[in-house]
Structure 1
Amino acid sequence: MAENKSVWEENTVINMVHLLQRNSLKLIFDCGVSDFFYDANKRMHKKLLERNIPHDYIERPGGHTNAYWANSIKYHLYFFNDFFKR
């Protein structure tokens, strides 16, 4: 990342939110409050709210670990099941 900072900044998800149209994507993201991406996820959630972009946002205790994701995957499967039933 350090050697390609401009590429990172141009292509990081939060800096591309302006390209989203309301209801153009079905979005879900999920982060543990001890995850090193937690602050970035909170900022992304806030930016989506400000732009009125619908999304599912989940934050729960835990970190960026296999244990967190093993528990989390069932919520994502419910989300995708509902999406594909439509």
Structure 2
Amino acid sequence: EVCKALTKTRGLYGRWSDSLEAVTALRSNGIGPDGLDVAEEELHWNTSELRTALRSIEWDLEDLEDTIHILLLINISFF
């Protein structure tokens, strides 16, 4: 599950990076507000999706850590 989430997150990071480059280019070229608004909206959406994906991975890893801890405690109690 974590591996699938990492693959998805890599794709999100690529889109976020592309969006950031687009906004930076539009700002430096003095493109009108309409084009910039669309690019900034896409950047905001990609940023939000990336943060959500990273939080989800963090929670999955915490769950795995908790499970391993429980299994270790169970294993210790048997020996």
Q: Under TM normalisation by the shorter chain, which class is it?
A: under 0.3
Higher fraction of helix? 2
**TM-score (structure 1 length as normaliser):** 0.26
Higher strand share: 1
TM-score by structure 2 length? 0.28
Question: Could you say which structure has the greater relative contact order, defined with CA pairs below 8 angstroms and 6 or more residues apart?
Answer: 2
